[in-house]
Chain A
């Protein structure tokens, strides 16, 4: 990577823009972006009930869970405006296309049958086969199209696992998802090398333009994180709707509570900034393949913020 081709990741944020977002946000607006999520293996019914309580109380967009919950979640959400969101072929995305489509079709059919409120209450977060995509983007296009068709009009979000992709691959994956008829692109399963970082969310937004949704997921713990992600993925006010922007989180209460702090001194929070490396993909190389790791380390060496990395003192 030469200095000419070096791209500084999105790791600094103009205070004025952040202040504008904080002032625009209300608890209700913030909640409307949230997909309240629990995708752990040991999730039990009381936790699902608790998530439903939170989502209905605060007006969150959806409850995002594993497909097995389709036997109970529709009942709990019946009569509310909160959607059900099920992950498909999660978290690796390595099933054959037909199996992905079949899983999608079954979940949609069962949800509609149990909830009894017709279409429009289900969303599917599918994982692409990253390995196949890297060698053959058309494979990803085919599997996304298959799931979109199986979803029978319900919205499909495409998890591209951006931590495993180069910049060019992120852009390509987003465009493939768009061509295949998906409604959202989503960066992460929450189990990847890193979660939602503004830099990748900005790349994804730039790739799909304003007509498609972008969902940020993974490691989002507070309202300051959300504000930076809105700056990256929904800077334009018309993008700030649940149809164009989402946040996946297992901690909605902490996020909503922390907004109250931002509201008291928005400019001070914005000016205080964040240590650039902590929101930079290049800082999270431990779990990455060598090729990507070397790319990121090369970028680090050219970065104007590299002083932070000298002693990794942040």
Chain B
């Protein structure tokens, strides 16, 4: 391996308290690139079918990409791969900050954690030295406290990825937090880590990612930096307002899900917009490793300070719950980060509970419990209720324990499964699919459940990147979704941020990968690798019993038209036809299974 990889994978068995370094399979690295792809391949090979995600047999895999630790722009993403306890699907969840670089600098390409410890522990990797330390004194601490303590106990410049109380107590959408406020948020990797009684992974090293062709890499990096520096989204919008710039934009399209997707237009959106944030709680921009964009926001309310909220969080804890109080949203976000759980699922689950409350679906005992614990009614627009709910979720106590299961389980428990706005059990993010047809198809077919990052079709459907298309049409969308899904799989495997696709095109990524590895990488080969990863994720889900019936959208999206806003009267009535076209574009049969020829073409037969 000439560049991009150290060729080393660390295997840690927590049950046996053993660790070993093994060579990275060069062919596997080539076929799956790294990050999400490499992690998924390892998971697929390791995990017996139908394994309980919270059992010791479910591995937790940290995987870097070949561009982590290089000067490639926005190359600070680390992937965590496991089977999701929330959805039962394959789960790849990534985060920014510096942890990916810190992990790479230990000289490791990936870290595979198996088994479960019999007592709380911390994995401390300092270059070649690997140590499992007792973490009894850390158990129960929040993610900020844990990080501070571990930095004091290990190395002040170490990278810390840890769980908070939510992960320890099995909140099904607990996140793994690194650099204090960066979340591998979706799907519950933090709960898997908690089940292993692994409080944190701490890494430090001095290794430098090898670059095979330095001159070619400099040229590719400069090409990418120029594009990022000149694209309107990355040079202006994200830099100035962070991701919250989307609040007003998506609301104007009538696609900002409001009050549990009952509407697509939030009249008070400006109160929680990026523009308002900049004038009120914004303190400074925060950047991940090697990122010139700096879309992160450090903020301060009248009572507290912290990081966030970004767009999805603003929406989930704001308009989705009918809340227009930006300070309350920010403070709820701080709690989510400190306790360590996903803001999207949390907000969507609270919104689901609010609708259940307003529809009278809770039994009297539950209503009394909620009143007693929250000290208020669980109605849309109640910011105080949001704050009480996130505190309860983090502790997984009382009504919070019900919310900690996610909206699908909550809605089913109270007899209204249709009120869970989720796909495959994962809650939809902040784009109403009724306003964006390609996004609808992307949500329905995402392997980890509804996810905007598996194919960010909002780019062409709302942000005119790389160009404007008709957001209500279904024509051409199957092939476009496939293109975005394959490229996103590759981006996640390279170790890059998905926001690069606001500026770069598929050729840029191939140039960077070819230069760092010294191998020949055409754009077609890169997309084929992405397609291989996507199909492997599909095979994983099929093995676990998922099928075409799971490639769907919430009842409300399919059957209830939006009542107002600039997507008024829209519902996704064409999903089945879109799925047919999509499966055909993918080389899958009508049931959504990759055909033998597709598998053979991708080397997956």
Contact = CB atoms under 8 A, between A and B. Distances in A.
A151 interface: no
A221 interface: yes
Contact of B508 (A224, A260, A265, A274): A260
A258 interface: yes
Interface string B470-500: 1111011111100100000000000000000
Contact of B472 (A221, A223, A275, A312): A275
Given A257-B503, A257-B505, A311-B566, A269 B527 contact: no
A262 B505 CA distance: 9
Contacts of B523: 260, 264
B470 A260 contact: no
A261 B506 contact: yes
A180 interface: no
Interface string B219-255: 0000000110011100000000000000000000010
B93 to A, nearest CB: 26
Given A254-B230, A311-B566, A312-B566, A224 B468 contact: yes
A6 to B, nearest CB: 23
Interface residues of B, number: 39
Interface in B557-605: 565-570
B534 to A, nearest CB: 15
B460 interface: yes
A168 interface: no
Contact of A278 (B468, B475, B527, B570): B468
B469 interface: yes
Nearest to A222: B467
Contacts of B227: 253-254, 257
B465 interface: yes
Contacts of B477: 268, 272
B505 A314 contact: no
A209 interface: no
A259 interface: yes
Contacts of A272: 438, 460, 469-470, 473, 475-477, 480
B73 to A, nearest CB: 13
B506 A264 contact: yes
A254 B503 contact: yes
Listed residue (A225, A261, A267, A274) with the most chain B CB atoms within 10 angstroms of its CB: A261
Given A267-B479, A268-B476, A270-B476, A258 B467 contact: yes
A264 B480 CA distance: 9
B469 A274 contact: yes
A222 B465 contact: yes
B466 A223 contact: yes
A206 interface: no
B230 A251 contact: yes
A313 B476 contact: no
B470 A253 contact: no
A71 interface: no
A242 B508 CA distance: 27
Interface string B449-472: 000000000001000111111111
Contacts of B565: 313
A270 B473 CA distance: 12
B230 A275 contact: no
A271 interface: yes
A201 B284 CA distance: 45
A221 B232 contact: yes
Given A223-B466, A257-B466, 16 more contacts: A221-B232, A221-B467, A225-B467, A253-B226, A254-B227, A257-B503, A260-B506, A261-B506, A262-B467, A265-B476, A267-B479, A270-B476, A271-B476, A272-B460, A278-B468, A314-B472
Interface of A: 221-225, 251, 253-254, 257-262, 264-265, 267-275, 278, 311-314
30 contacts: A225-B467, A253-B227, A254-B227, A254-B231, A257-B231, A257-B505, A257-B508, A260-B508, A260-B523, A261-B467, A261-B505, A264-B506, A264-B527, A265-B476, A265-B483, A267-B479, A268-B477, A268-B479, A268-B483, A269-B467, A269-B476, A270-B476, A272-B438, A273-B470, A274-B468, A274-B470, A275-B471, A313-B566, A313-B567, A314-B566
Listed from nearest, the 10 A-B pairs whose CB atoms lie closest are: A260-B505, A224-B467, A271-B476, A258-B466, A268-B479, A272-B476, A253-B230, A272-B469, A268-B476, A222-B467
